[in-house]
Amino acid sequence: MTIFLLLLIAYLIGSIPSGLWIGKIFFNTDIREHGSGNLGATNTFRILGKKAGLVVTFMDVLKGTAAVLLPLIPFFAAANIHPLILGITAVIGHMFPIFASFRGGKAVATSAGVVLGYAPMLFIILFIVFFLTLKLSKIVSLTSMVAASVALIYSIVYYFVTGDYALFILIFFLFSFIMYRHRANIKRIKDGTEPKVKWL
């Protein structure tokens, strides 16, 4: 019962539609009706601007971190569940949020939050890779996929060094989620029609 409750809470945390709520409360705008129609931070930057985009990014990252850290709450201390399972559950909630008709984001920021909660050093590496790639390419989708690929390589090396298979499994699933959610972006990148950011 405790494990089920943890999974439910993790999913509900992930389901918080940050972009939707920020857009409606402060801008009277439903970002699902503009741009890519996506609820993630990228579309928020595009439609609502830099400040709103940063707030949504922070909130989406925090969702993943909060889910991973749930077992630290004394009430759940005895629950026998790996924190990364809760992280993946939050990512699923972000992608298919019950609070937004199951139309969510592409899981990049929330996945980063899961990594932050479980492997802070990898998060730092990915932050640097993300910033540098975005600075050079100006394409958020490409940057996200590059960061996911670096994370996958890191997790493989980390597994052979430490034997931590859980991190590898997590990153593999997140990598798969991110690549699947960006399949339309991949086509646009090949066609040279993928939008570039103007705020960096």
Q: What is the pLDDT of residues 102-153, one digit of tens each?
A: 988 888 899 999 999 999 999 999 999 999 999 999 998 899 999 999 999 9
| Predicted pLDDT at 134 | 92
For the chain, the structural domain boundaries read 2-191
| Predicted pLDDT at 199 | 63
Q: Name the residue among 186, 158, 161, 185 with its Cα closest to residue 172.
A: 158
138: buried, middle or exposed (CB in 10 Å: 19+, 13-18, 0-12)?
middle
Q: What is the pLDDT of residues 67-99, one digit of tens each?
A: 999 999 998 888 889 999 999 999 999 999 999
Query: What's the pTM value of the predicted model, to 2 decimals?
Result: 0.86
Q: How confident is the model at residue 159 (pLDDT cuts 50, 70, 90)?
A: very high
Q: How confident is the model at residue 200 (pLDDT cuts 50, 70, 90)?
A: low
Average pLDDT value for residue range 177-181: 85
Is the pLDDT at 193 greater than 70? The verdict is: yes
Average confidence score pLDDT of the chain? 91
Q: What proportion of the chain, given as a percentage, has pLDDT over 70?
A: 99
